[in-house]
Amino acid sequence: MKTTPKILTLLCLLLTTSAQAALVTNGDFQSCDFAGWDNYTDGVRHTSPNTDFAIVNNAGACQAKVSIDVASGASAFFANTLSTEIDFTAASNAQLWLSFDWVFSGFDDGSNLADVFFVNFTNSLGDITGADANPGFLFEPTSTYGAGTYSMMLDNRFINQSGWFLDFNLEGGFTPDSFSSTLLIDNVALRSAPTNVPGPPMSALLLLGAAALFTRHKQSIRTI
C-alpha cells in the first residue's frame, strides 16, 4: 500500500536534495500513538483514548485512523480533527514543503452533504488557512472517497511563524442517513530547503501529486 507514496516522496526528496530534518513531530506515527498530536471531537480535545481516534498498527507500520460513524458509536456530531502544532522554524530563504498520505473511505453516498475530509492550517483564532497563507485549505473538502499523497510547497510567509496547527478534519454529513467514514493519515512531514536549490516548478509537483492521487485511488480500492 505504501509503495507508491514512498516512491513519490522519494522523488520529492530527490528533487529537494538539501532538505532539512522533519519539522513535524511523530508525523509518521511511528511511536504508534498520538504523541505530538491532539484529537478533537466537535472542537473538544480528547485527553484519553476514545472511539473516534485510533492508531492502526500494521506490523509496526503505524498510521492514524479517524472515524466518524454516528451509527456505530463514534461520538462526534460535527467533526473529528487530528491536529498538530507546526514548527515553522526555518531560514528566511527556505522553502517549506508539506506532505502526507491519506486514505478516505466509508459508506456514505458521496453527495455534497455527505461526510467530508479536508486539511488546513488553523491558529488560535480559527483562521482556516491554505498553503498560500490565505484563507482556504491545504486539501479542499471532499466527500469523494479516495487515497493519495499530498505534497505542497508553502508560502514563505509561514517561515518562523508560530501558533499554527495542521488539522486533518473528518466532518459528519448532513444526510438523513449518514453512514460511517474513516480517514487514515500517515507520513505527515514538513521539510525546508534553501531557495537557491532549483526545485521543480509548482505545476510539475501538482501534476505529480495528481498522478499519484489518481494512481492511489485505484490502488486504494483494491487494498481496503
Partner 1 sequence: MKLLIRINLLLMLLLAPLADAAWQNTDSGDFSYASRPVYDRVNRQYSAIVTLTNTGNAISGPMRVLFDASSHDIMNSQGTESDIPFIALSINELAGGASHQFTVKLSLTRAALAMDMRLQADLAPDTGLTLADNQIALFYKREDANYQGWGLHVWNGEGCGDYGAPTTDDSHFANWADPYPVDGEHPVYGAYYILTITPGASCYNFIVHNGDNKALGNSNSRFEPANGQQAFAFDGYPELWYEPIESRPFSIDGAKAHWMTANTLVWLTATNAAEYRLYTSAEAGLSNVNNDSLANASFTPLTMANEDPAIYAQDPQLSGFSGFYLNLTDTQAKQWAKQQLLAVALDAQGELLEATRVQIPRLIDSLYTNGPDDADEAELGVTYTNSTITATLWAPTATGVNLVVYNSSKHAIASHAMSLNTQSGVWFYSGARTALDRQFYQYDISVFHPLTQQNEQLTVTDPYSVSLATNGRYSQFVNLHDEDLKPTNWDTHTVPTITDPEDAVIYEGHIRDFSILDQSTSAAHRGKYLAFTELNSVPMQHLQRLQAAGLTHFHVLPANDIASIEEDINQRVDLTDSVAKLCQLNSAAPVCGVQNEQDTLLQVLQSYDPSTTDAQSLVESMRAMDGFNWGYDPQHFAAPEGSYATDPDGVSRIIEMRAMNQALHQIGLRVVLDVVYNHAASSGLSDNSVLDKVVPGYYHRLNETSGQIENSTCCENTATEHKMMAKLMNDSLVSFAEHFGFDGFRFDLMGHIPKQGIMDAREAVRAVDADTYFYGEGWNFGEVADNRRFEQASQLNMAGSEIGTYSDRQRDAVRDGALFTGGSINQQDVIRVGLVGNVASYQFVAASDAYVSTYDYQWNGQPAGYSDDPADTINYISKHDNETLWDKLQYALPEGLAIQDRVRIQNVALSIPLLSQGIPFLHMGSDFIRSKSMDRNTYDAGDWFNQVDFTLQTSNWNKGLPLAQDNQNNWAAIGEVSANPNSDFTTTDIQLSAALFTEFLHIRSASKLFHLNSAKDIAQRIKFYNTGSQQIQGLIVMSLDDGIGLDDIDSNNDAIVVLINGSASAQSFAVPNANGFALHQSQQQSADTRVQSATFSAGTFNVPALTTAVFVKAQNGSQGYGLSALPPYAEQPIYLRGDFNEWDTSLPFSYQGNDTYVVNADLLQGDYQFKIADQDFAAVNIGGEFTVPVAAPAILSNGANNLSLSLIADGRYEFVLDAANSANPTLTIIPDDPNAIPPPYGNHMPLLRGDMNGWGTTSPLTYQGNGIYRGVFMLDAGGYNFKIADQDWGGQRRPKSRG
From the CB of 197, what's the least distance to partner 1, in Å? 25
CA dihedral 12, 13, 19, 25 (to 10 degrees): 90
Task: Give the residue, chosen from 102, 104, 118, 139, that forms a contact with partner 1 under the rule CB under 8 A.
Answer: 118
Q: Which is nearer to partner 1, 188 or 212 (CB)?
A: 188
> Taking a C-beta distance cutoff of 8 angstroms, is the pair 73, 51 a contact?
yes
Query: If binding is defined by CB under 8 A, does position 83 make contact with partner 1?
Result: yes
- CA angle at 50 for the pair 48 and 53, rounded to the nearest 5°: 110
Task: Give the residue, chosen from 157, 177, 206, 221, that forms a contact with partner 1 under the rule CB under 8 A.
Answer: 157
- Find, among 167, 165, 169, the residue nearest to 85 by Cα: 165
Task: Give the residue, chosen from 63, 67, 81, 181, that forms a contact with partner 1 under the rule CB under 8 A.
Answer: 81
Integer Cα distance of 52 and 94 in angstroms = 37
Footprint of partner 1 on residues 124-153 (CB under 8 A)? 124-130, 133-137, 141, 143
101-109, 112-120, 145-153, 199-207 -> range binding partner 1 (CB under 8 A): 112-120
From the CB of 173, what's the least distance to partner 1, in Å? 9
**Torsion over CA: 199, 205, 208, 209 (sign):** positive
The CA-atom distances, in angstroms, between 138 and each of 49, 148, 167, 207 are 27, 14, 9, 16
List interacting residues with partner 1 (CB under 8 A).
Answer: 40, 42-43, 78-79, 81, 83, 112-113, 116, 118, 122-130, 133-137, 141, 143, 157, 161, 167, 169, 171, 174
